[in-house]
């Protein structure tokens, strides 16, 4: 290119000749520099490839390295080499025959090793993310028949053949043995936050539930309610025998050491607030929330917590739904 211009300039007087000479000298110098650069680049290619192989083996171990490079990285490498090769390799077409990995190394010069690491690392992250996603998906596959998701309410009484093992919370208080660990953990964490939780009503036998229900019924009947009205009112406050979660040992009425009443104001206590904000982390849900009375058939009970497992509890808590709604969505 320069020599052509130089030829033309040389025909245009003394000044032209002088400029032509300068151009030719510049061209010679540039050509020499390019030669040296080519040589240096080849040395860099070989060094970088060796380093990349060592780094790659370090990252993956033998099998992982081969897989990582051949599957994921190659695509990225090809993409990189097209872009980078085009700009930096310029007219050196013969070098495009060099393997893709090497082309990237040439293109990126001194950063090449880091880039290679980045490509490998990205592939590694992809694999990790994929595995994590699969695990999460697997974990989040709920089944209505899971022991911790059993729906018990007026429409869904406890099955006759339902059985489970009881574990001791303390003294004569019992619950399903499978929830003892998360329950204890929850109580410990509350304590660390300065909240002393107290279980006031754990697992109940059928006879106890019947007694509680009958007592409520009598109260309404004595106050002049018809049997149907008394039943309606009683069942909104005390769960119908055979349909209480207390009977399956998965629900607990929890209060604090400084507030013993089971009323709505419990929500304003430290214990009420702590439970509402944290119970789901241990697999427990506020079973009868405010505003959901139509769905649960039970009045708002800020003290009644039901174990459903951490994954389900998280969803129920975040979506602000009831167990009924959660089960229906499965």
- Which residues participate in catalysis according to the annotation? 301
Q: How many CB atoms lie within 10 A of CB 8?
A: 11
Residue 252 CB neighbours (<10 A): 25
Contact present, 320 and 285 (Cβ < 8 Å)? no
Distance in Å, CB of 305 to Zn ion, minimum: 8
Helix boundaries (H) for 252-309:
270-278, 293-296
Supply the minimum distance, in Å, between the C-beta of residue 210 and Zn ion: 15
Q: Where does this chain bind Zn ion (CB under 5 A)? A: 253, 304
Q: Which is nearer to Zn ion, 292 or 304 (CB)?
A: 304
The alpha carbon dihedral of 230, 234, 235, 236 has a sign of positive
Residue number with CB closer to Zn ion (142 or 213): 213
Task: Please identify, using beta-carbon distances, which residue of 304 and 317 lies nearer to Zn ion.
Answer: 304
Residues whose CB falls within 8 Å of the CB of residue 96, separated by 6 or more in sequence, listed in order: 85, 89, 103
Closest approach of Zn ion to the CB of residue 199, in Å? 11
Render 36-92 in DSSP notation, one character per residue. Answer: HHHHHHHHHHHHHHHHHHHHHHHHHHHHHHHHHIIIIIHHHHHHHHHHHIIIIITT-
Radius of gyration of the chain (CA): 38
Task: Give min distance, CB of 117 to Zn ion, in A.
Answer: 57
- The smaller minimum CB distance to Zn ion, of residues 216 and 304, is found at 304
Nearest CB to Zn ion, comparing residues 52 and 212: 212
> What DSSP state is assigned to residue 148?
G
Q: Taken in order 142, 145, 147, 150, is the CA torsion positive or negative?
A: positive
Alpha-carbon span 187 to 171, nearest angstrom: 16
CB 240 to Zn ion: min, Å:
13
The span from the first CA to the last CA of the chain, in angstroms, equals 73
């Amino acid at each position: 290119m320069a020599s052509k211009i130089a030829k033309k300039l040389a025909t245009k007087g003394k000044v032209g000749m002088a400029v032509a000479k300068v151009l030719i000298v510049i061209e010679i110098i540039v050509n020499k520099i390019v030669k040296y650069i080519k040589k240096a680049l080849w040395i860099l290619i070989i060094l970088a490839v060796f380093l990349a192989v060592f780094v790659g083996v370090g990252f993956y171990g033998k099998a992982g390295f081969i897989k990582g490079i051949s599957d994921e990285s190659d695509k990225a490498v090809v993409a990189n080499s097209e872009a980078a090769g085009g700009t930096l390799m310029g007219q050196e077409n013969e070098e495009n025959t060099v393997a893709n990995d090497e082309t990237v190394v040439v293109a990126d010069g001194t950063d090449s090793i880091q880039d290679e690491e980045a490509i490998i690392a990205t592939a590694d992250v992809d694999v990790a993310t994929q595995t994590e996603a699969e695990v999460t998906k697997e974990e989040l596959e709920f089944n209505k028949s899971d022991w911790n998701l059993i729906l018990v309410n007026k429409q869904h009484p406890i099955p006759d053949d339902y059985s489970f093992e009881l574990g001791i919370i303390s003294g004569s208080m019992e619950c399903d043995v499978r929830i003892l660990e998360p329950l204890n953990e929850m109580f410990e964490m509350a304590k660390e936050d300065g909240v002393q939780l107290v279980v006031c009503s754990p697992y109940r036998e059928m006879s106890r539930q019947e007694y509680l229900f009958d007592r409520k019924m009598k109260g309404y009947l004595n106050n002049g309610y018809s049997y149907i009205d008394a039943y309606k009112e009683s069942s909104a406050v005390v769960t119908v025998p055979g349909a209480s979660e207390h009977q399956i040992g998965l629900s607990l009425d929890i209060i604090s050491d400084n507030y013993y009443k089971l009323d709505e104001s419990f929500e304003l206590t430290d214990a009420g607030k702590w439970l509402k904000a944290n119970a789901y982390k241990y697999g427990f849900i506020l079973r009868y929330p405010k505003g959901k009375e139509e769905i649960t058939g039970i009045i708002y009970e800020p003290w009644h917590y039901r174990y459903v497992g951490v994954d389900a509890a998280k969803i129920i808590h975040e979506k602000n739904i009831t167990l009924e709604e959660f089960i229906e969505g499965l």
